[in-house]
Amino acid sequence: MKFTRGYWLTRENFTMSYATQCVRTEREQKRLHVLAACVPVRGRGDILAGGALDVTFTAPMANVIRVTVTHFAGKALKVPHFEIHETENTPATAEDENSVAFTSGELTARVLKKQGAWQVDFVAADGHTVTTSGFRGMAHALDRNTGKTYMSDSLMLDVGECVYGLGERFTPYVKNGQTVDMWNADGGTASELAYKNIPFYMTNRGYGVFVEDSSDVSFEVASEKVERVQFSCEGETLVYDVIYGRTPKGTLDLYTALTGRPPLLPAWSFGLWLSTSFTTNYDEATASGFIDGMAQRDIPLSVFHFDCYWMKGYNWCDFAWDPDTFPDPEGMLKRYHDRGLRLCCWINPYIGQQSPLFKEGMEHGYLLKKTNGDVWQTDLWQAGMGIVDVTNPEARAWYCRYLKKLLAQGIDCLKTDFGERIPVKDIAYFDGSSPLHMHNYYTFLYNKMVFDTLKEVRGEGEAILFARSATAGSQQFPVHWGGDNSASYVSMAETLRAGLSMSHSGFGYWSHDISGFESTAPAHVYKRWVQFGLLSSHSRLHGSSSYRVPWAFDEESVDVVRKFTKLKCRLMPYLYGAMVQAHEHGAPMLRPMVLEFPDDPACDALDRQYMLGDSLLVAPVFREDGKVSYYLPDGKWTGLLSDRKVRGGHWQEETHDFMSLPLMVRPGTVLPLGACDTRPDYDYADGVELHVFGLEEGEARQVKLYDLKGNVSATFTVARKDGKLAVQTDSTKPYGVVEH
């Protein structure tokens, strides 16, 4: 939200009250309170009618400083709060005649004490300034036309500083110059709207900022004032955390410790998912035909997904199989389980009026209501539909009882679609929550209740969703996919930009509809997207009005799907280790280049390539003719598919057929490749091959392999000494070593 016209003038409808001067400090053991006058105080009379802002500094964990700015403290509005995982730490305060300081770990907030001046410097332990809230930054705003009030602050950007994150955004990867509003919406992938808005950004200077507000926080990223990031929200209080991780990966480590780590996922979920698609006609014979077709063509399939029409139209959601197309659901699901498949069903939090659950939910008060007591209804999506009131514990239990019946039939996981179209006007939640703040937060409660149900029924480590909407902390309920994209290279590229932004936002896993959801891709787009999709953490073939089985495109598509599905299965010892890193430290499996190479400025803006884990560089091909340009950081890289050696430090231009793409191995890598290429869940230590790439004399690398419960099953240390490779291991199973 913009409050000014240029640097000096305020917009006509706003009255701004800026923090102007520190006039009082109160130091406590774990807290610093500063009173900031909104006018210069030169004498006693200046405190009258000038207003002030209460600014409090606390430390939810080491290296994180929380700033709470309050204008009027008497607001009684009930708002949901993000779940924050604070850890015990001992901040320190200090004061002299020039400033007062609050220190958390290696980060200090230093408040200037000077008449007529306001400045808060966030300073690292080595003395360099991380960022600053300064002149006309911290503020209260009154919109005289609407009577609404807003709180705002802005933090300085340095020369060459790039801003990333803010959720799943399909706009340019580097957010500088953009206005970004936190408002979950079903806008497709070709717009500035986003399904997953996360009020957290990070920069290439080793810190991030998390605004702890679930409403429509607005970010002006080097836009209103090009040297700052401004963030504002409606109300009388603003809370934000400055998170100093020293590096981008270190910042994600702290942010996910604060808002929740991505959990470990079942290994079977990393295999290929195949969907019935959305509006296609299908029944058991259709589904079986797809499954048989994949098996006949030697394409490993891990999960089969039933989209909306497993239920009867107009009845979404009643959680009952349409008897006209699936007369024997339990038998069908058992037959598919016997073939080694896991099974997924589509659901959403909306209840159509024709569903038997609508009357039941209405009678018990389980559906979202208007302020006059009526059930809120709409015809947009399902005729007369209502929405489950997820603030009502009994409504959540009621909804989840139906899910448990579905799971008892043999369903293994659930696609939690929607959660963005949540009304705000004239709405009364069961617990009295502010509708404005619940709009984005709804998805957290929705996906949490489903994920927790899966954990309860299937057990720890077996729960997985395929979710579309999200907010801060939703990384605890994976996996999320990128929404409704189109069948083109342009949409493929915007999908990747969204995945990179999600990675900067704390999400360890991410997926997308291979070849695009809308329309039907030409075969060349399908094959290029298959490569990209099977080199993502999770891989799903899904569409809208047509099937996505490869033989529907051309015979070469079958070969491409087979090759890259089998490759992913063999990569599972490595990918499982990358998952453990996401779980333990928040490092995403799909990593923007700047996360792995923060000291290489050429990586700051790269948005058409990524690291898969810490050792594999992937550059998807976005052209029919197979031409691709990508950047390799310094060092001697090796093509995993070609064994070609390439010296990095500059851009590469290549042409690839449909069986290949730039998949480069980082120098000094020991890459474990599994012995099985037919499924993702197997004993990774049995017959593993350790592929060694560019290990220099005197260097050593350790590789940990895991069992399917996330426990270390084998450890290998590979070193080069006197020109030879030596391996130390505690494994009793056969393994091989291949040097490249």
Which tokens hold the place of 4? Answer: 């000014």
Residue carrying the six token digits 């949901």: 80
Residue carrying the six token digits 């006949």: 296
Which tokens hold the place of 312? Answer: 């009867």
Q: CA 358, CA 630: separation in Å to the nearest integer?
A: 53
Q: CA 686, CA 676: separation in Å to the nearest integer?
A: 9
Task: Give the count of beta carbons closer than 10 Å to the beta carbon of residue 302.
Answer: 23
Residues found in the chain: 740
Catalytic residue among 220, 420, 494, 681: 420
Strands (DSSP E) contained in 509-563 are 539-541
- With CA atoms as reference, report the closest residue to 524 among 625, 379, 628: 625
Strands (DSSP E) contained in 19-82 are 21-28, 31-37, 52-61, 64-70
CA distances to 199, 275, 298 from 338, rounded to whole Å, are: 44, 19, 18
Catalytic residue among 212, 220, 484, 596: 484
**What is the torsion angle, in degrees rounded to the nearest 10, for the CA atoms of residue 727, residue 731, residue 733 and residue 736?**
-20
Determine the straight-line distance between the first and last CA of the chain, rounded to whole angstroms.
54
In single-letter form, the type of residue at position 216 comes to D
Which tokens hold the place of 147? Answer: 């009577």
Residues in Cβ contact with 284 at an 8 Å cutoff, skipping those fewer than 6 apart: 325, 326, 328, 332
Contact status, residue 233 vs residue 217, Cβ threshold 8 Å:
yes
Which tokens hold the place of 92? Answer: 């320190």
Query: Is residue 400 left, alpha or beta, with left meaning phi > 0 and alpha meaning psi from -120 to 50?
Result: alpha
Q: CA 670, CA 355: separation in Å to the nearest integer?
A: 55
Catalytic residue among 417, 494, 654, 677: 417
DSSP assigned state of 513: B
User: Is 484 one of the catalytic residues?
Assistant: yes
In single-letter form, the type of residue at position 344 comes to C
Task: Give the count of beta carbons closer than 10 Å to the beta carbon of residue 213.
Answer: 25
Q: CA 658, CA 653: separation in Å to the nearest integer?
A: 16
User: Is 420 one of the catalytic residues?
Assistant: yes
Q: CA 174, CA 177: separation in Å to the nearest integer?
A: 9
DSSP assigned state of 666: P
Query: Is residue 722 left, alpha or beta, with left meaning phi > 0 and alpha meaning psi from -120 to 50?
Result: left
Residues in Cβ contact with 220 at an 8 Å cutoff, skipping those fewer than 6 apart: 1, 2, 154, 179, 228, 229, 230, 231
Going by their DSSP bridges, the two strands 120-124 and 107-112 should be labelled as: antiparallel
Strands (DSSP E) contained in 687-732 are 688-693, 700-706, 712-721, 724-729
Residue carrying the six token digits 């990524």: 610
Q: CA 447, CA 431: separation in Å to the nearest integer?
A: 18
Residues with a catalytic annotation lie at 417, 420, 484
